[in-house]
Amino acid sequence: MLTLNKDTKMLIGGKWVNKEKKIKVLDPQNEELITEVPMAEQSDILLSIENAEEGASIASKMPVYERINILNKAADYIDKYKDMYSRTIAAEGSKTINEAHAEVSRSIQTIRLSAEEARRITGETIPFDQMPGSENRVGYYYKFPVGIVAAITPFNDPLNLVAHKVGPAIASGNAIIVKPSSLTPISALLLAEAFVEAGLPEKILSVITGSGKEIGNTLVSHPSIKLISFTGGYETGKKIAEKAGLKKISMELGSNSPTIILEDADLTKAVESTVAGSFGAAGQNCIGVQRIFVEQSKYNYFLNLFIEATKKLQMGDKKSSNTDIGPLISENEAIRIEKMVNEVTEKYDAKVLVGGFRNKAFYAPTILIDVPINSTIAKEEIFGPVVMVFPICNLEEGIKKSNEVDYGLQAGIFTQNISSTFHAIRELNYGGVMLNDSSDYRIDSMPFGGTKKSGVGREGVKYTIEDMTETKVVQFKL
């Protein structure tokens, strides 16, 4: 097992490597030192790419059954040590231990899904004789790996979001270099350990720990990198796209997700779902509920139930199974959110009904009303435990206001009316519409992604594999 001490190493081409310069990994709850990881330099990225060039050739020739076996063995390894994986996620990140357990379970499923999809990378025959003059031609197309994938991952799902890139890359016969968040690198290294223990050939996988400013430009701009898979913020994603040049890009860039609640909704279920969707993972969730639009006739009733449920949430030690809300990833993030809330209450007279206060890296679950729809906090991504509740006259107003942001990842709607349901599905400009669920719903096999500033392409194991492969047409003239 990887030991968390001052010799925690990164993985370059299947070999564990240490460096003299280190990055401290701190517990955001109390700023205690967990471990130190190497601070990679330019030479380390170049070495990882050099290894990956050989690794891509090895991976592409690996039989499908071997890819499947390695993926399943890696999943077995994580399952065997799942408690340790959960404790690591909870220690280095913001998640409570219960949320960490759930992420580990999802990560195991993501890797097993990758194993299943490895056997389904197929092609089709092409009827070339559909065109005059091609009567004596037959053929098909098939999928082949792109080569080297660069994966850049955030802090909020430090294991599963890495699994969503590594699993499909191995399933489709690629080499992959992972650059995890410097705030939560240990989970990614533990995932790498699972694949090393599973027998993944050397040179196929690297996990490089270091500053994005130091190593990021080379990673995304190097001509040997054929696909960049990035999960993070819009501004960073935009810079990566500008530097990447002509190569494949897949990006999930966050959102400002709405949930609409109509007067015929089951309010008990709507409250339960939106409270969880607003405040889970301390609100650091790209599909977390940020705006709730409630039909006027049920607005006050819903709001009272929502306030009552929110007040029951326990904020505190994330290692306790009784805790619902842990800290944000850093005190600076909590200060940022505090400033956003203070600005809208002082400048626009918005009202705080619950929460609205900070204690170091903790920010209390917060409900806002009377927020101007064109204010910064209503239009941009908060990425914290703050939700706004608005009254609406009807579904049309809810759809219109839901669409009045530059993001479009996922939306939710609660209603029992089939006509309202299909109208919302058609008119909401989002990559996913969750019916009688909040925006905060996802399974790891579905196509996941959004419109506008929310990204490019779709994640989800099958759909990631599509991005990580190219199509080759084969034609025979008889």
Question: Over pLDDT 70: what percentage of the chain?
Answer: 99
Nearest-angstrom CA–CA distance, 182 and 37: 9
Nearest-angstrom CA–CA distance, 212 and 217: 8
Phi and psi at residue 137, to the nearest 5° = -125, 140
Banded model confidence at residue 214, pLDDT cuts 50, 70, 90: confident
**How does pLDDT run across 309-340, given as a tens digit for each residue?**
999 999 999 999 999 999 999 999 999 999 99
Lowest mean pLDDT among 85-89, 209-213, 259-263, 357-361: 209-213
Residue 2, pLDDT > 70, answer no
- How large is the average pLDDT for residues 454-474? 96
Of 36, 252, 295, 381, which one is the catalytic site residue?
252
Residue 324: CB partners within 8 Å, gap ≥ 6?
A: 96, 279, 313, 314, 315
Instruction: Look at residue 213 in the predicted model and tell me its pLDDT.
Output: 85
Lowest mean pLDDT among 161-170, 246-255, 387-396: 246-255
Average pLDDT in the chain: 96
- How large is the average pLDDT for residues 411-418? 98
Q: Is 286 a catalytic residue?
A: yes
Instruction: Look at residue 109 in the predicted model and tell me its pLDDT.
Output: 98
Instruction: Look at residue 7 in the predicted model and tell me its pLDDT.
Output: 67
Residue 135: CB partners within 8 Å, gap ≥ 6?
A: 129
Phi and psi at residue 123, to the nearest 5° = -125, -165
Instruction: Look at residue 1 in the predicted model and tell me its pLDDT.
Output: 56
- Closest of 40, 42, 5, 4 to residue 22, by C-alpha: 40
User: At which residue do the structure tokens 């019916």 appear?
Assistant: 435
Q: Enumerate the CATH 3.40.309.10 domain ranges in the chain, comma separated.
A: 257-449
Residue 73, pLDDT > 70, answer yes
Return the structure tokens found at 132. 């005059």
Banded model confidence at residue 5, pLDDT cuts 50, 70, 90: low
- How large is the average pLDDT for residues 242-269? 95
Of 193, 286, 459, 466, which one is the catalytic site residue?
286
The neighbouring-strand residues paired with 408 are 451
Q: Enumerate the CATH 3.40.605.10 domain ranges in the chain, comma separated.
A: 10-253+454-477
Residue 150, pLDDT > 90, answer yes
Other Cβ atoms closer than 10 A to 278: 30
Query: Domain 10-253+454-477's class?
Result: alpha beta
Instruction: Look at residue 321 in the predicted model and tell me its pLDDT.
Output: 96
Banded model confidence at residue 142, pLDDT cuts 50, 70, 90: very high
User: At which residue do the structure tokens 């929310």 appear?
Assistant: 454
- How large is the average pLDDT for residues 423-439? 98
CATH architecture of 257-449: 3-Layer(aba) Sandwich (3.40)
